[in-house]
Amino acid sequence: MQGWRKFAVLAALGLMAACDGRADAAAADRSRAATLTTAAVIDSALPMDVLLDRFRRDIPKVEALRSGANSRDELVRRIVAAIADSDAVALERLSMNLGEFAWLYFPTTKVAAPPYEVPPALAWFQVQEKDRRGVLRALRELGGHRVTLDGYRCGETPTLEGENRIWTGCTVSVSRDGAPTVTLRLFGAILERDNRFAILTYENDF
């Protein structure tokens, strides 16, 4: 059991570094985000379009979510399976990455508009922190176990932000190793765009 715990911690801490096996590129993303966060705080008086242009510099433009999940059902099934299998790379792929945040999600999110106007680098840093904590906790509780998905539900109506649909209030019903089913929050929200789906953050109840 101790070996599994050690692996779970290492896998979770490595989530944001695992980008389809390209750890160096993901590490560079984190370094860039940290640098831009500092710059964003300093330049917070600048217009949002200027901040966004600076944030996007050197971030290749993307046109679609790359999770490969074409329905909410598929996305949730794959998340539960990845957590049970301790598959940090799969969890990373099922969540929004830096390019998707910069080009698809952030420009129309409410935090980019008044009265919030959160600098994009700071907003991305906050997303990463929520992911790191959430995945660590989920792997600690469910990783390496036989996890059965009995169902899930989200709010009836998504929040519309530009071309994005944000599904919140999601809970899953799961059983671990044959124990009674429990209903809990396994992730924060689901991003839908052009009939593709990805996790916004892995915030959860653990």
Q: How many domains does the chain have?
A: 1
List, in sequence order, every residue forming a beta bridge with 160; answer none if it has no partner: 165
Tell me if 22 is assigned to some domain.
yes
Residue 32 placed within a domain: yes
In a domain, 163, yes or no: no
201 close to 130: Cβ distance less than 8 angstroms:
yes
For the cut 50, the answer to whether the pLDDT of residue 179 exceeds it is: yes
Question: What secondary structure letter does DSSP report for 95?
Answer: B
Burial of 126 (0-12, 13-18, 19+ CB in 10 A): middle
Provide the pLDDT confidence category of residue 3 given band limits of 50, 70 and 90. very low
pTM of the model: 0.77
8 A C-beta contact, residue 172 and residue 184: yes
Q: Is residue 201 part of a domain?
A: no
Domain of 9?
A: 2-144
With respect to residue 80, please indicate whether it lies within any of the assigned structural domains. Answer: yes
Q: Is residue 94 part of a domain?
A: yes
> Residues of the chain with pLDDT > 70: what percent?
78
Q: What is the dihedral of CA 38, 41, 42, 43, to 10 degrees?
A: 120
pLDDT: which is higher, 174 or 44: 174
The pLDDT tens digits of the residues spanning 13-32 come to 444 444 344 344 445 555 55
> pLDDT band for position 74 (50/70/90)?
very high
* Percentage above 90 pLDDT, the chain: 70
Residue 172 lies in a domain: no
Distances (CA, A) of 167 to 34, 70, 136, 198, 203: 28, 15, 23, 10, 14
Query: Residue range 55-75: average pLDDT?
Result: 95
Question: Side chain identity at 30, as an amino acid letter?
Answer: R
Query: Residues 78-121: pLDDT tens digits?
Result: 999 999 999 999 999 999 999 999 999 999 999 999 888 999 99
> pLDDT digit string (tens) for 185-194?
999 999 999 9
What is residue 46's predicted lDDT score, i.e. its pLDDT? 79
154 domain residue, yes or no: no
Q: If you average pLDDT over every residue of the chain, what do you get?
A: 84
